[in-house]
Amino acid sequence: MNDKHSNIYHVFQEHFPEYPDAIFIETPDGSQYSYAYLQLETARIARFLTEQGIQKGDRIAVQVEKSAHVLFLYLACLRAGFIYLPLNTAYTKNELSYFLENAEPAAVVCASDAYEIFSDLKSDKLNNIFTLDTGEQGTLIELSRETASEFETVTCSADDIAVILYTSGTTGRPKGAMITHGNLAANGLALQKTWNWQQADVLLHALPIFHIHGLFVACHNVLLGGSKMLFLEKFDSKTVIQLLPRSTVFMGVPTFYTRLLDDDNFNKECCENMRLFISGSAPLLEQTFEDFQQRTGHTILERYGMTETGMNTSNPLEGERIAGTVGLPLPGVEARIVDENNQLVKNNDIGILQVKGDNVFKGYWRMPEKTAEEFTPDNFFITGDMAKYNERGYISIVGRNKDMVITGGYNVYPKEIELLLDECDGITESAIIGLAHRDFGEAVTAVVVPNDINNPPDIEHLKLILKQQLASYKVPKQIIYVEQLPRNSMGKVQKNILRETYISLYQ
């Protein structure tokens, strides 16, 4: 790719439909935005922000509710060579203060009702605060509409940073992952090819867009397919069921799928036009995979990735999609599983997953030491996920390295126990954590959601079932029943919260 076309926006543009009035986004209120409008609106915003003195490489921090215009703002930042910095809408003032201090953005775009918070946090370097609200309101839109709509997309190199995404990190302060134009192009094109994205596709988009799943995986595929999306402000099963007949592809975190299955109106008929259901960001239970297949006749395609790397693996579009696996490495991605001595492990043995490829990020913003720690000498990124290969080259994720429990000197991988528990009668799902214990160092502990909290399975009976199948050190010392597991907005179980909640269980 020559430099002129290394700005990811140029790459998108090459894939836009020839017919400029083709629709890019449709929202439930009936508003439609064409590809021609996308070009116009992004030109205006890019030009307006440039006229405010913002320069290539400056950061634009964005904390707003999801709307079509947030996406136009994102694309405008790419066009102008600014670094887009999306922030979860749930972040509090205290957290925001850290991000602003760390990233030193030249501008903030926020909801009108957060204006005061950001004004309080304003520093010398931050001269611009614009508002952007749903319903096409806010100063960013008002002011940019007074601007001319010509803008020449700025030339970027593949190595220029396009986006900084703060990773949620359970320990220490969040780290800003620097994702380049080249990373986005490599990963976007690999996915578009692997999932055979076409102009005729219609994506039903119900994910948040401050995270790679909703922003990169979902929107980039649409842009690179020249396709259309039905853009929901947030997930709700009723609206999704209503719009599925007009869609061909759906992407969700596992909770979206369990919520759809909880709705009796979700059936084969509403999925008749669908060609693909994709799941990721957290492990999909085998039970959900099977229930979904039975109810709809569709096999969910599970893929795996992370902020620092984009997508690494996917179950195949053609070919077998295996429950409990995240599929095969994507084209251009090298994935290896090693032991503590960095030696490759055998098939079916658990080890540390490392990846290499143009999809892998440039490093953590202003944290060169932290970046160096996460790469091997031969430049593989250490994902922090424990995984195994099967004989056919499919990878299964067993859990985060830091979630591994070490009890009496033995390593215990939570997933192995969780899978067995989830299969037991009367159990919906489970999470295994390690808690400080005087004798064992850590004690294996199960936090379990029963089907009926008022009538949960007998604990001694459960332990007996587990004892028949597991070495005794892996059998949970205690089983705790809860109504639900704490999850973040991407559907990930927050084991750190569980560990904090039960910190003194054995003390």
To the nearest whole angstrom, how small is the minimum distance from the Cβ of residue 327 to ligand AMP? Answer: 9
Q: Which two tokens stand for residue 86?
A: 């999306």
H or E element at residue 421 = helix 414-423
CA-to-CA dists, residue 111 to 22, 63, 116, 301, 442, angstroms: 30, 7, 10, 35, 44
Any contact of residue 164 with ligand AMP (CB under 6 A)? no
The contacts of residue 193 (CB under 8 Å, 6+ apart) are 331
To the nearest whole angstrom, how small is the minimum distance from the Cβ of residue 217 to ligand AMP? Answer: 10
Question: In 10 A of CB 454, how many CB atoms?
Answer: 5
334-338 and 328-329 beta bridge pairing: unpaired
φ and ψ at residue 75, rounded to 5 degrees = -65, -35
Question: Hey, which residues between 455 and 494 contact ligand AMP (CB under 6 A)?
Answer: 490
To the nearest whole angstrom, how small is the minimum distance from the Cβ of residue 379 to ligand AMP? Answer: 19
Any contact of residue 351 with ligand AMP (CB under 6 A)? no
CA-CA distance, 486 to 433, in Å (whole number)? 13
The contacts of residue 48 (CB under 8 Å, 6+ apart) are 140, 143, 144, 147
Between residues 80 and 300, which has the closer beta carbon with respect to ligand AMP? 300
CA-to-CA dists, residue 367 to 91, 103, 173, 402, angstroms: 22, 12, 11, 21
Between residues 169 and 331, which has the closer beta carbon with respect to ligand AMP? 169
The contacts of residue 147 (CB under 8 Å, 6+ apart) are 44, 47, 48, 51
To the nearest whole angstrom, how small is the minimum distance from the Cβ of residue 307 to ligand AMP? Answer: 3
CA-to-CA dists, residue 113 to 148, 219, 233, angstroms: 28, 27, 18
DSSP string of 262-279, one letter each residue: H-TT--TGGGTT--EEEE
Between residues 41 and 403, which has the closer beta carbon with respect to ligand AMP? 403
To the nearest whole angstrom, how small is the minimum distance from the Cβ of residue 252 to ligand AMP? Answer: 11
Which span sits near ligand AMP by CB under 6 A: 75-83, 118-126, 281-289, 494-502?
281-289
Contact residue for ligand AMP among 119, 167, 348, 469 (CB under 6 A): 167
Between residues 203 and 326, which has the closer beta carbon with respect to ligand AMP? 326
Between residues 10 and 495, which has the closer beta carbon with respect to ligand AMP? 495
To the nearest whole angstrom, how small is the minimum distance from the Cβ of residue 384 to ligand AMP? Answer: 6
DSSP code of residue 137: B
Contact residue for ligand AMP among 225, 280, 310, 457 (CB under 6 A): 280
* 8 A C-beta contact, residue 209 and residue 132: no
Contact residue for ligand AMP among 86, 182, 283, 414 (CB under 6 A): 283
Any contact of residue 214 with ligand AMP (CB under 6 A)? no
Site string for ligand AMP, 378-397 (x = CB under 6 A): -----x-x-----------x
To the nearest whole angstrom, how small is the minimum distance from the Cβ of residue 496 to ligand AMP? Answer: 13
CA-CA distance, 409 to 411, in Å (whole number)? 7
Question: Hey, which residues between 305 and 334 contact ligand AMP (CB under 6 A)?
Answer: 306-307, 326
To the nearest whole angstrom, how small is the minimum distance from the Cβ of residue 470 to ligand AMP? Answer: 21
Which span sits near ligand AMP by CB under 6 A: 40-48, 120-128, 277-285, 406-414?
277-285
Contact residue for ligand AMP among 302, 374, 418, 442 (CB under 6 A): 302
Any contact of residue 432 with ligand AMP (CB under 6 A)? no
> Where are the extended beta strands (E) located within 321-404?
328-329, 334-338, 351-356, 363-364, 381-389, 395-400
To the nearest whole angstrom, how small is the minimum distance from the Cβ of residue 342 to ligand AMP? Answer: 19
Which span sits near ligand AMP by CB under 6 A: 32-40, 132-140, 274-282, 456-464?
274-282
Contact residue for ligand AMP among 6, 227, 281, 354 (CB under 6 A): 281
Question: In 10 A of CB 300, how many CB atoms?
Answer: 23
Between residues 160 and 403, which has the closer beta carbon with respect to ligand AMP? 403
Contact residue for ligand AMP among 38, 68, 212, 485 (CB under 6 A): 212
To the nearest whole angstrom, how small is the minimum distance from the Cβ of residue 326 to ligand AMP? Answer: 5
CA-CA distance, 162 to 176, in Å (whole number)? 12
φ and ψ at residue 471, rounded to 5 degrees = -60, 145
Which span sits near ligand AMP by CB under 6 A: 12-20, 198-206, 260-268, 299-307?
299-307
Which SS3 state, helix, strand or coil, does residue 219 take?
Answer: helix
φ and ψ at residue 329, rounded to 5 degrees = -55, 140
The CA-based angle 321-324-329, given to 5 degrees, is: 60
Number of residues that bind ligand AMP (CB under 6 A): 17
Any contact of residue 202 with ligand AMP (CB under 6 A)? no
Which residues contact ligand AMP (rule: CB under 6 A)?
167-168, 212, 280-283, 302, 304, 306-307, 326, 383, 385, 397, 400, 490
